[in-house]
Each structure stands twice: as C-alpha cells, then as structure tokens.
Amino acid sequence: MEELTEEVFINRARTFFHEVGGVESASLDADADLIESGILDSLLLISFLAFMEKLRGSPLEITRENLPALSSLRGAYAFVRLRNPDDELCGSCNGA
C-alpha cells in the first residue's frame, strides 16, 4: 500500500473533489480555503470527512478547535496524520 504522504493525500483529495463535487482538480490549490471559496459546503464536508477517515484508517476526532484545519487540503492532511486528538496541528494549518 502506498504511503500517505502530503503529495499523495492532496492528489487523492483533488480527485475526490473532482469526482464528488465537480471541482476542476487542477485549479484546487493545496492552501486555498475550501469553505470561503464555496467548494466545501455542509453536505460535501460530511463526504470529505468519510474520505479522510478511510485514508486514515480510523475515525477522526472533530472538535471546535481543530475544525479550522479542514479548510484547506494541506490542513486536512495534517489533521489526517494526527493519531491522538490531543496532538498539536501545525500553526499554519489550524488558523493560529
């Protein structure tokens, strides 16, 4: 099985957004705010969380504090790499 590097995650997420959300994958920047750009709405968020859990192989622990990490592909990758809900996300990924 292929290691889930940031590049692999971002490419798979771009494919996900293209197939599920109809977003042109080449135009989806890894640091773009998916919520503010209108790409990630409440229904697509649920599908994206399921996609992330499948790649991670375990459930995600979503809290008010770590939710902002999901607003970009790079932030979502950092979130997927967490193994413990008490781990710290990188400052640039969690809105700090």
CATH code for position 56: 1.10.1200.10
- Domains contained in the chain, number: 1
Residue 50 lies in a domain: yes
Distance CA 75, CA 67 (A): 10
pLDDT in tens, 25-36: 888 999 999 999
| Mean pLDDT value across the chain | 84
Q: What is the pLDDT of residue 66?
A: 82
Distance CA 7, CA 22 (A): 21
Q: Using pLDDT thresholds of 50, 70 and 90, give the confidence band for residue 20.
A: very high
Q: Which two three-digit tokens encode residue 88?
A: 């710290």
Please give the average per-residue pLDDT across 6-11, as a whole number: 95
pTM, two decimal places: 0.81
Decide: 80 and 4 in contact? Cβ < 8 Å: yes
Q: What is the pLDDT of residue 83?
A: 60
Residue 86 lies in a domain: no
Which residue range forms the structural domain that includes residue 30? 6-81
Please give the average per-residue pLDDT across 5-31, as a whole number: 93
Residue 27 lies in a domain: yes
